[in-house]
Amino acid sequence: MDTNLGFECDASRTAFEPDRFFRNSLAELKADGRYRTFLELERRAGEFPLADALGRSEPVVVWCSNDYLGMGQHPAVLKAMHAAIDRVGTGAGGTRNISGNTRDHVLLERELADLHGKEAALVFATGYVTNEAALSTLAGMIPGCIVYSDALNHASMIAGIRHSKAEKRIFRHNDVEDLERLMAADDPARPKLVCFESVYSMDADVGPIRAICDVAERYGAMTYLDEVHAVGLYGGRGGGVAEREGQMHRLTVIQGTLGKAFGCGGGYIAASAPLIDFVRSHAPGFIFTTSMPPAVAAAARASVAHLKASNAERKRHQEVVATVKSRLKEAGIPVMPSQTHLVPVFVGDAHLVRRVSDDLLTQHGIYIQPINYPTVPRGTERLRITPTPLHTDEQVERLVTSLVSVFQEHGLMMEQVA
């Protein structure tokens, strides 16, 4: 492979060649097994988790969707979106400040504030933008702020903290003693912000919310909790792990998404009214972005409202998750430890995890996207299975037998990962 990446050392040719640089960079990704491919899917309305995949005559069963509860297909959500389109059309027509602040946005934010027991909420275009904009604004504009960030925080949180240019301390994943050690070494008078997640999506573990809040309160620190993989799924009304554990009132900021369990799109923060107004007034990622389409806001509000009142989806979801974990372990599939609804299956090789994924699709009509570096550390490449309430018992059995067949074909170890 040409590793020159488009830069010529020859004095007669000093010009940068952009396409050559891009091609060589992509070639390195492919050689490393990290080149990402995108399966073209068309979900079948009313038939989730079935989808049509380009080039296949039969539908595939999707086992890696973040539409965890199938709310993207729920009649109440579809009805709300159709009604909003008929009422106001499609796009919002501008930023929230310039003609794009609709009644649907305002009502959605009220619904979200109520969900988390906070005074106010603020909706953003995506969950990634929410973290990047909120954290860069809060940490960057509070004078002398020190940020304490869990070592496995999502890329969006890392980006927000980095862009804030605030001093940061990285504490070992879910290690409350390490967090306290770092906080004790800093000036007690300086503002502090602890950033962590409830459900960590790749390792399927849960942050110690109560213990982190205890430490934060001892040192007068604010807390910022990312609940994107938990909202809708946990708690009596779908408020997330913090609701389940009775800790919502102790958190300064709760961040969530509308694009996973709520089945729509967008992200948000919920907090005190002054904090929300501060972010609304200062965050470029909010101020200069065209607002969410009103129909999406209306659909998201319907989804949030439904899951506040209904536990049926959450109950069935947990039943299917438990069945999938149990059946896979019984079959000898190397299921990694999971405290949550996420079911990671260990493969451990970037090229092999791609081949396993491809074989599941082409031979068995099952779609599970491979997860590799930098999303997870090298040598821990995996499949991440996300059961939903709408997966049938027959589809679960088909998943198990298909995985066994493909794993045996590739000589993968059929034992539980410790």
Q: Return the minimum-mean-pLDDT range out of 6-10, 132-136, 158-162, 405-409.
A: 6-10
Per-residue pLDDT tens over the stretch 51-73: 999 888 899 999 999 999 999 99
Please calculate the CA angle 379-376-124 and round it to the nearest 5 degrees: 170
Q: What is the pLDDT of residue 4?
A: 58
Q: Looking at residues 43-56, what average pLDDT do you find?
A: 92
Based on the number of CB atoms within 10 Å of its own CB, is 17 exposed (0-12), middle (13-18) or buried (19 or more)?
Answer: middle
Beta strand extents in 133-217 (DSSP E only): 146-150, 167-171, 192-197, 199-200, 205-206
Per-residue pLDDT tens over the stretch 329-382: 999 999 999 999 999 999 999 999 999 999 999 999 999 999 998 889 999 999
Q: Per-residue confidence at 79, pLDDT binned at 50, 70, 90? A: very high
Q: What is the pLDDT of residue 264?
A: 98
* φ/ψ of residue 404, rounded to 5: -60, -45
Pick the catalytic residue: 30, 118, 168, 260?
Answer: 260
Structure tokens at 24: 């060589």
Q: What is the pLDDT of residue 202?
A: 87
Amino acid at 392: T
How far apart are alpha carbons 13 and 361 in whole angstroms? 46
Q: What is the pLDDT of residue 192?
A: 98
Q: What percent of the chain has pLDDT over 90?
A: 89
Q: Name the residue with higher pLDDT: 162 or 375.
A: 162
Q: At 311, is the secondary structure helix, strand, or coil?
A: coil
Whether pTM exceeds 0.85: yes
Structure tokens at 327: 């059946």
260 tagged catalytic: yes
Is residue 418's pLDDT more than 50?
no
Q: What is the pLDDT of residue 3?
A: 54
Q: Looking at residues 385-390, what average pLDDT do you find?
A: 98
Q: How far is CA 243 from CA 137, 233, 386, in A?
A: 26, 11, 22
How far apart are alpha carbons 108 and 248 in whole angstroms? 19
Is residue 154's pLDDT more than 80?
yes
Average pLDDT, the chain: 94
Q: What is the pLDDT of residue 8?
A: 52
Largest CA distance in the chain: 71
244 Cβ partners below 8 Å, 6+ apart? Answer: 234, 235, 236
Q: At 284, is the secondary structure helix, strand, or coil?
A: helix
